[in-house]
Structure 1
């Protein structure tokens, strides 16, 4: 497949690029600063953009089978950035007629798991209060996806870690894994690539966790 990856210098974005190249895909990695991007490969193209102009991004998404986005706030200071940047990506995709889009969101944006243990409910409420601005931004972003012409999927992980890829995790289409507390960025990337050709995930949120 021909794939474009946004947020390619981030933890999840770099993993998407590495795993996609290893699987034999052609990858266009969109980055603000190529000097911060250390991934190399014969089927890799690095596309420099500050994501300010949809017109400038059209070449990055034209003719692609799918677009994957690891864009997101790095801290509470970046609240609002996910929606802002995703709108630019959506505009470029819609202008080019590129339809398949997979983005990373977060578990609290999805529905609460059934029969969630009390301790997990408490943890969830505390985290949601601390990161309220970040999660509100992701909810607005998902609203933009729902109103778009794309065949989108939102992958919603809990707390992220830098542990190695396992390829083994729980996935709930339209829901959230019960007592799912962590998942490695490498496995989130794996899940995002895995849902690309799964029609059951189109226009759905997908909860992933160990």
Structure 2
């Protein structure tokens, strides 16, 4: 497949690029600073772009089978709140202009609906985290609202606490909610899940919880 990756120098985005290339995909990495991109390969194209300019991004998404985005705050900090929506909306506009449909983005577990029959800890923990980092999660809610209004076939992948651990390929997913007991997952496995979900029609226009 021909894939475009935004946030390609981040923890999840970088893993999407690396794993995508290893799986035989042709990957276009859109970055602000090419020097920060670790991956190399014959099937890798690097596009330097201002991520706030939809017109500038059109060439990077045209004719692609899917667009995957790891854009967002690099850490849960109020100072970074708003970055996910601000940087992803131009991607949406560029995709709509080019007729590129499939989009997968990173969101967060606290945005999943609360399921009353879930264990108490599973219902309370995400709510508490969401309150502590309210500005960041408000940004992600705004992002998911933009996705819902868009013409794309989007999937919002919602991990809990992120770890810098090696790829395992062993994790759980749940469409429309969080997996039971969702507490943590490695960035490499989030990237793996996003690549795996590209062809999963059951996740189109859905939030998908992912966790160990």
TM-score of the pair, normalised by structure 1:
0.97
For residues 130-153 of structure 1, what are the alpha-carbon distances to aligned partners after superposition, in whole Å with 9 as ceiling and x for unaligned? 111111110110010000000000
Secondary structure in structure 1 of the residue aligned to 2:198: helix
Native 8 Å contact 2:109 2:126 kept in 1: no
Unaligned segments of structure 1, at least 5 residues: none
Secondary structure in structure 2 of the residue aligned to 1:58: helix
Task: Output the aligned Cα RMSD.
Answer: 1.1
Secondary structure in structure 1 of the residue aligned to 2:103: strand
Q: Between Structure 1 and Structure 2, how many residues are aligned? A: 210
Match of 2:111 in 1: 109
Secondary structure in structure 1 of the residue aligned to 2:130: helix
For 2:194 and 2:14, the matched residues in 1 are separated by 13
Native 8 Å contact 1:115 1:178 kept in 2: no
For residues 11-67 of structure 1, what are the alpha-carbon distances to aligned partners after superposition, in whole Å with 9 as ceiling and x for unaligned? 000000000000000000011111111111110001101212111111100110110
Once the 2 structures are TM-superposed, how far is the Cα of residue 114 of structure 1 from its aligned partner? Answer: 4.8
Match of 1:11 in 2: 11
TM-score of the pair, normalised by structure 2:
0.96
For 1:17 and 1:50, the matched residues in 2 are separated by 19
Match of 2:176 in 1: 174
For 2:188 and 2:61, the matched residues in 1 are separated by 24
Once the 2 structures are TM-superposed, how far is the Cα of residue 113 of structure 1 from its aligned partner? Answer: 4.1
Once the 2 structures are TM-superposed, how far is the Cα of residue 126 of structure 1 from its aligned partner? Answer: 2.6
Native 8 Å contact 1:113 1:177 kept in 2: no
Native 8 Å contact 1:4 1:66 kept in 2: yes
Match of 1:38 in 2: 38
For residues 81-135 of structure 1, what are the alpha-carbon distances to aligned partners after superposition, in whole Å with 9 as ceiling and x for unaligned? 1111111000100110100000010001111245333334443333111111111
For 1:120 and 1:62, the matched residues in 2 are separated by 41
